[in-house]
Amino acid sequence: MASVRIFFAILVLSYIAAAEKVCPGFGTPELSRHGQLDQSNIDFFKNCTVIDGDLIIKSSTFRGDRFMGIVGIDPFQLEVFNSLRNITGYLAVLASGESQESLSALSNLQVIEGRTLLQSDYSLVIMDTALTSLGLNSLRSIENGNVYIRRNAALCYVKSGLFENTGIFYSGGQSAHVRQNRPKDLCRVENHVCDRECTDLGCWGPGINQCGTCKNYKLDGICVDSCDADAGLYVLSEEDKECGHDEEFEVDSEVGPGSRTWDCDPDDVETCFNECQATLQEQDNVNAQLRAEVEELRNQLRDARARKQRLQRMLTTTGTQSPGDD
């Protein structure tokens, strides 16, 4: 059984590695002549899942700079980042495009590692934009560095607790500075507020799929008020406040929605009930085991990525050192 799991893990890791595309970011030798995202380099990031370096968006990203020979982009071109999952350095958004309301193009971004930091301090900086919301609803981890979100005149929804109290920060020493954005009373008047299913820690934008954490339960990334049995749901984890789909749920035209079919004698109510409970418990155990195995695979993948990147850096350093360098 162990050998089968190892073989399966190797297959999964091989598939993920094959699907991964690592692209150099700003601050790396490949983009040493580029100081920000613009028309001359945006196509470099097509289909990238990992940016090994920094991602920097400035006013010249959109407006261009005739003196410096920089041609700006349209905000819709940011959709090139739809496949992005990981930034190894920092993310700096220092401007927004015309009519751009959020960073939804980065909605699949999950990890900011913060190996390099802006001003030796920040791994996520968003300032002087016209954004209404952030839209970074897949962000799960900022491994190093602090967050600085300031002077965004239209920005609502976000609070420091969105980072500090939701498990996004890797260590207790990290902090989020969120200030001088849209006044809260104006956000309320304009109805730019988090959904009622979100907690008061803030959210990434409007809607039940933008909550930092859910007030009640979560189902497939969406906050819901309950794990409604009549809708074919059950409590997958009370601790994590997570619902699951009941695979044996059926809608019976005679009995009505919410009926279930079980392989037991319906005339023996007690036995049937016990068998149903045992089946649910068995499924919970299987789900817990699967989650543990998936987490182990993720850890292995992260270690493999780190080893690969260290090797690439070693090879790059070896190739660029002069003969007299130590």
165-215 pLDDT, tens digit each: 999 999 889 999 999 999 999 999 999 999 999 999 999 999 999 999 999
- Which tens digit of pLDDT belongs to each residue from 233-247? 999 988 889 999 887
Domain boundary among 215, 230, 256: 215
Q: Are residues 177 and 312 in the same domain?
A: no
- pLDDT score for 79: 97
Q: Tens digit of pLDDT for each residue in 90-104?
A: 999 999 999 999 999
Q: How many domains does the chain have?
A: 2
Which tops the pLDDT comparison, 305 or 44? 44
Question: Which of 191, 215, 239 lies at the terminal end of a domain, its last residue?
Answer: 215
Q: Give buried/exposed letters for 30-50 (b at 16+ CB in 10 A, else e).
A: bbeebebbbeeeeebbeebbb
Widest distance between CA atoms in the chain: 87
Which residues have a Cβ under 8 Å from the Cβ of 86 and sit 6 or more positions away?
49, 50, 51, 109, 110, 111, 112, 113
Domain coverage including residue 25: 2-215
Residue showing tokens 């009373």: 185
pTM of the model: 0.71
**Domain termination site, one of 197, 215, 233:** 215
Indicate whether 155 and 271 sit together in one domain. no
CA 122 to chain CA centroid, nearest Å: 18
Element (H, E) at 147: strand 146-150
> In which band, very low, low, confident or very high, does the pLDDT at 52 lie, cut at 50, 70 and 90?
very high
Whether residue 151 sits in one domain with residue 10: yes
* Whether pLDDT at 259 is above 50: no
> What are phi and psi for residue 224, nearest 5 degrees?
-130, 160
Is residue 177 within 8 Å of 184, Cβ to Cβ?
no
Q: How do residues 119-144 score in pLDDT, each as one tens digit?
A: 999 999 999 999 999 999 999 999 99
pLDDT value of residue 246: 80
207 and 226 within one domain: no
